[in-house]
Chain A
Amino acid sequence: MTKRPTNAIDIAEVVRIAHLARLTLTDAEVESLSHDLSGILSYVKKLEELDVTGVLPTSHATEVSTSLRDDVPVAGLSSPQALANAPEPIGGAFGVPKIIE
């Protein structure tokens, strides 16, 4: 189902989007985002004035074909290099909080 553009993002909608974006927001942030996003979305509604029937979307602006390099193995980062910035390296792997009790 395709939904119509809207120009009001209420508190519940901000909370829903923040969940999709994996963002913890304070109450003050939720409130100001509701205000800001509503303003921005009512501005971008402008695009509805245009008839885009039959217009192809542009995802890249220059007409160049993607160039592929030769399929030869090259050295990547070593395990210690890759883990050097990890918040919780564990035995050559990236440690994360428990997922299953």
Chain B
Amino acid sequence: MVDWTQCTLAQLSQGLAARAVTSVQVTRDCLARIEQIRPLGAFLFVDAQGAMAQAAAADARRASGRVNGPLDGVPLALKDIFLTEGVPTTCGSKILEGFVPPYDATVVRRWKAAGAVLVGKLNMDEFAMGSSTEHSAFAPARNPWDITRVPGGSSGGSAIAVSTGAVFGTLGTDTGGSIRQPAALCGVVGLKPTYGRVSRYGVIAYASSLDQVGPLARNVTDTAMLLASIAGHDPKDSTSADRPVPSYLAELESGVRGLRIGVPKEYFVEGLDGEVGSAVEAAQKAYEKLGATLVEISLPHTAYAIATYYLIATAEASSNLARYDGVRYGLRNDPGAGLIDMYFATRGAGFGSEVKRRIMLGTYALSAGYYEAYYGRAQKVRTLIARDFSRAFEQTDILLTPTTPAPAFRLGENADDPLQMYLADIYTVSANLAGLPGLSLPCGMTRGGLPIGMQILGSHWSEATVLRVARAFEREHDFAVRRPPA
């Protein structure tokens, strides 16, 4: 008997079409798997009843010949940052505990229209601020390959759910690496699309000039299918680009012969773990064998990316999170001393320590007299960083780098040192600053049995090329299909 939970999304989609399995059967199996992996803390909310009803509806559509496409009847799940009508949405924060959104995010509406079975909401760092999912206000999540280690973050739950076979794909958000880093640490594929490729309507905002929605999946083909299901302009999000969406599957198998692959020398320096470095270098050689040309390139402002990112992201966060004031939704903590005191008490009680730290840093960077010295300067350095990439893409078609400087770290290891935690984002933040698409692909395992991810970066709107490059490597290696010990 086939264990469908161990198959890919594309395989399940074919299985459903061939009537080899029903959505109700596979959804029931997924819910059982979710129950099994409960100690990993991947889910904040499981909608078992809703999922079974959606699955039954999908099977009924299929029986009457009205299938909605390849995702019809496929169990998927969402990071708890996406608004879901009638289903609790907390963004990992006590300040939104009990909040039930009155409408769906556009990407959620699209998944529903495609017939996806939405089984629940996934754990995350509070307001997407973190790289470990330890900053979830409800429970830290754990890496399925080693439960003493973090799954990465902020979309930690999204990566665990895919890695363990609990669902066939998830959505995350990526402001500084929050899709790619957990994908790397959990051994799955994660894609941050170009800024503006996917609608953010109904996605709880962290840093609006950096946030982007993207899929996490078991392999590259599934990732391409999921990107196709969410990409495109949305009249409700004026920052979503009004430009055509190409087919992400058409050229997926076309290989890399003749392609130039850039290797940024500033990314292979001190601080990069030896096993991670070796795995990425082995991948470079693999691409050469497949007919690509390696080009050494320089991104001279790399060393300034983290500082730039943390000023811009926190400044925007301090403004975005001003809306949590205890008036219209969420927590209210009223000591009875008037409106202003209610704001103070609500926000003081509702936000966790990392969120407070970032609001404080952002407020400071925007405060009277300091704006030019911090935020203004960071925006100018952002221009220099973006310019590095446009120059690089004159010499190369794609960039190949590590996703993270090291494999998954232990829970609590970086807890007392926020700056150390921020430095874990060194290879991922630049793509957000420059608005580029980036994908993390499993490319090796450490001797200790932890996944290693490599990052493929493309120029604006080049997701089809990024996916094709990833697929060329994946076809020769089986890292992406490896699953953690049950």
Contact = CB atoms under 8 A, between A and B. Distances in A.
Interface of A: 1-5, 9, 13-14, 17-18, 20-25, 29, 32-33, 36-37, 39-41, 43-44, 46-48, 50, 52, 55-62, 64, 66-70, 77, 81-82, 84-88, 94, 96-99
A70 to B, nearest CB: 8
Contact of B380 (A33, A52, A70, A81): A52
A66 B344 contact: no
20 contacts: A2-B369, A5-B370, A23-B348, A24-B344, A25-B356, A33-B356, A37-B357, A44-B310, A47-B378, A50-B301, A57-B383, A59-B209, A61-B382, A61-B386, A61-B432, A66-B239, A77-B102, A77-B103, A87-B329, A87-B332
A87 B264 CA distance: 52
B136 interface: no
A84 B318 contact: no
A86 B304 contact: no
Contacts of A46: 303-304, 307
Interface string B350-380: 0101001101110110010110111011111
B304 A47 contact: yes
Contact of B356 (A20, A23, A56, A67): A23
A98 B359 CA distance: 27
B384 interface: yes
Nearest to A39: B419
B100 A62 contact: no
A56 B382 CA distance: 9
Nearest to B389: A61
A52 B349 CA distance: 40
Contacts of B99: 85
B347 A37 contact: no
Given A52-B380, A94-B328, A97-B339, A23 B372 contact: no
A64 B344 contact: no
What secondary structure prevails in chain A residues at the interface with B? loop
B100 A33 contact: no
Nearest to B422: A40
Interface in B387-427: 418-419, 422
B343 interface: yes
Interface of B: 99-100, 102-103, 194-196, 209, 233, 235-236, 238-243, 301, 303-304, 306-308, 310-311, 318, 322, 325-332, 334, 336-345, 347-349, 351, 353, 356-357, 359-361, 363-364, 367, 369-370, 372-374, 376-384, 386, 418-419, 422, 432-436, 460
B307 A5 contact: no
Contact of A2 (B196, B344, B372): B372
B364 A37 contact: yes
A55 B100 contact: no
A64 B451 CA distance: 37
B102 A87 contact: no
Contacts of A21: 318, 347, 359-360, 363
B384 A64 contact: no
A58 B100 CA distance: 36
A89 to B, nearest CB: 10
A57 B359 contact: no
Contacts of B308: 47
**What 3 pairs across the A-B complex have the smallest Cβ distances?**
A61-B435, A24-B348, A57-B379
B377 to A, nearest CB: 5
A22 B344 contact: yes
Contact of A14 (B304, B339, B360, B374): B360
Contact of B329 (A32, A69, A85): A85
